Chains A and B, each alone.
Chain A
């Protein structure tokens, strides 16, 4: 089936003439039309534009001149990435009518690479959530079990890739939002080093924590997607200028002699024993492949989540101040003055979780509280970073569980705190900006995917990809597919 092929398989088939980008785009659009009512991965499907792009790619293959390793590959974009002329809602009513006049840098780069953009995927409103249940528009179901969440906030992108509704996708990871849904949906999710991928056109949530990363069927595809979007961008002052290596070419080096650190703090009380077992088994596999594994300690880990919930809301309260009904998006009519217009617009346009975080963030930045909260949180952030620096003095990569549990049921986590706890293993890589990947490492008894995480040194995307690839190649997990109706 065309929609089961990996990116690498697709482009090989295009080159050999076995199939064409048009046929593949049509197959995906047909599958979306048939199945997405059930999955709910997409907010917008851009069928016409996709077919047009596919026709262009097809012509290039016919001429024997494809643009890149992604030419003609159908990709989905989280609806937080600005797309020229295509609504970009961030899963929020306040941006329901917003159509950006510009492309995000990553979108520009995907287009330039010849990728076929299928549409925009569902997400927790402004990326605030771990289940995609905070979308203002629709529910997204986990392709492995429709009663369960796909994770979040990039739940739509993860479900699309897992459900065969896109060959690959981009998501964003501020507190685990690429890797956690990847783990829940049994796909690969990569969060690169902060600054490796331009944030221009990514609607900001927590500016110092926001990362764009790929979700893919396997590690090779993730490597191909990363290479296409990474690299310096003059429009993002925080973007790094280091050259972008050919990640896919360096995958097969194996893990022999690689030193892996297993952090004590990532095996906590209350975590799902099935997850722990799967992760420990995976570590044995890696050992069997020639890696050395040693215990390491990252003592600041328990504080990372708490400080994340100071820094991310603080930045969010600032970034979301611009949604006031003046310039674009929602404006509630009938206000008598400016303040009323803005407050009524914001009251109607933002969901409960977004409001909660804006209030939290406004509070921690207030005069008199700034030092006690924001200032101290930044210092803890430094401690978290030092933990990793110390560990990387002894090991090459950290290996750890991605989440404490498998995908939960819709409505199961109504208490915000228990939802936040879901990202306890994901947040440190965002706080430190270090590259991290989630790769499938088995299934629970109920058949739900489990994710294994690798965290690397700054700019060592190649390292985490290489370890994930070695593990993936040694295990059968990626052959399993969810059975959608």
Chain B
């Protein structure tokens, strides 16, 4: 297919993502060691995850359940039987020098994930989903090539991972980023992964290629690794697309290779080319029997699947009449969405509740941090309680914001704070009348102005009354009383 000297054909970007997500099981994939992050090196290990002689793996049933849950949420076909395999390569972070993964018989295949980009919906195919064990971590000064010694921490060795391979259906770095976010939201929603990219609980590799628009054949693909945040995924892919477009524009060939994203430099660099590709010598793991997945159990898991973020977002718009923007923000995590719904059950003013969550609660807590939202010192019931005080006119909206801050610190009920600190609006007409008389007496100039028809002067007087009552005066009553008194002057 030669276009000769014609103008370069417009290119189409083709991206596929491989996402590794750490499953939120308490113990590792093949042994009973804990999976928590940040423990002292090698403190969460045993002979099995250290790959000692004679040890055997035992499958973590919970990890299988989590895998099935995710597979169903991604609309995959869960295979009746799946099998683990050994993937061999030598690297000291991998204690057995093989990784137990799934190869020819994965847990699930052929699914899809719907994403929304610029208001349009796209369906991205998912080729396969399988389970495997994570490797350990090497610690050394500088690079492995130049370091005098390297230490190995096997705490992460054997932690359950779920690898999901998308079809090459993504057409731009923005779409890739949207896919990853939607993917993460589903996992976090299902409670199968924390989705924390900084801690490495979610890792993403990308296959990127370009082809002339309309071509059916795929171009030569390049694998991009080491993109450890959503921002970096988009930056790396944008760079790589530019790099390939320039190379192709200059008549060069793309080399099939693995490239590492350098976040500091903002570029990808060649790591290894296909010629040095490993022969992983896969074969079925003889220490584990093939797993037969009980159809009834899979159906049970399907029935128990929670509403997914996309469905919930749509429901928030239709059921509560929320704007798209609010619905999107409130469904960032299951905990937040549940927080919203719990508050609305107490006070059926969805937009007011949404406003308070977006402007006040999310100033204190990240929307996607399940645990933080769940353990918020202000429970949804208490937030509703606070808003009810505003609704009833007991406190002003402004005072309510201060009360919110105090509730967040002390965890107390709004009523307790309001009554202890005397924050109830002053609605006693006699008391307010006295304050107004004093203000009128102290501001002869404003009264003069008012008489000459400058009605705005009355506003300044209202401000003076509010100030004199420490903001607690009921503004409606102040307005009415002031008007009455001024008209009598």
Contacts and interface: CB of A to CB of B under 8 A. Distances in A.
Q: Do A and B bind each other?
A: yes
Given A100-B47, A101-B47, A237-B59, A318 B52 contact: no
Given A318-B88, A365-B281, A238 B96 contact: no
Dominant secondary structure of chain B at its interface with chain A: loop
Contacts of A101: 47, 52
A51 B51 CA distance: 33
A444 interface: no
Contacts of A34: none
Contacts of B288: 237-238
A236 B56 contact: yes
B200 interface: no
B96 A322 contact: yes
Nearest to A328: B52
Contacts of B52: 100-102, 327-328
A165 interface: no
Contacts, number: 102
B68 to A, nearest CB: 19
A328 B90 CA distance: 16
A93 interface: no
Dominant secondary structure of chain A at its interface with chain B: loop
A238 B53 contact: no
B55 A200 contact: yes
Interface string B42-76: 00000100111111111100000000000000000
A203 B286 contact: no
A370 B54 contact: no
Nearest to B91: A338
Contact of B50 (A234, A314, A327, A338): A327
A203 B86 CA distance: 17
Contacts of B152: 326-327
Interface string A431-473: 0000000000000000000000000000000000000000000
Nearest to B288: A237
Interface in A213-261: 234-238
A324 B286 contact: no
A130 B346 CA distance: 79
Contacts of A238: 56, 286-289
B378 to A, nearest CB: 45
Interface string B20-62: 0000000000000000000000000001001111111111000
Contact of A318 (B59, B95, B98): B98
Nearest to A363: B281
Contact of B86 (A202, A318, A338): A318
A332 to B, nearest CB: 15
A95 interface: yes
Nearest to A202: B54
A422 interface: no
B92 A203 contact: no
Interface of A: 81-82, 88, 90, 95, 98, 100-102, 104, 199-204, 207-208, 234-238, 314-315, 317-318, 321-322, 324, 326-328, 337-339, 342, 362, 365-367, 370, 374
Given A321-B96, A324-B97, 8 more contacts: A202-B54, A207-B286, A235-B58, A322-B96, A322-B97, A324-B90, A366-B279, A370-B282
6 cross-chain pairs, A with B, having the tightest CB-CB distances, nearest first? A321-B97, A207-B286, A365-B281, A208-B286, A203-B53, A201-B54
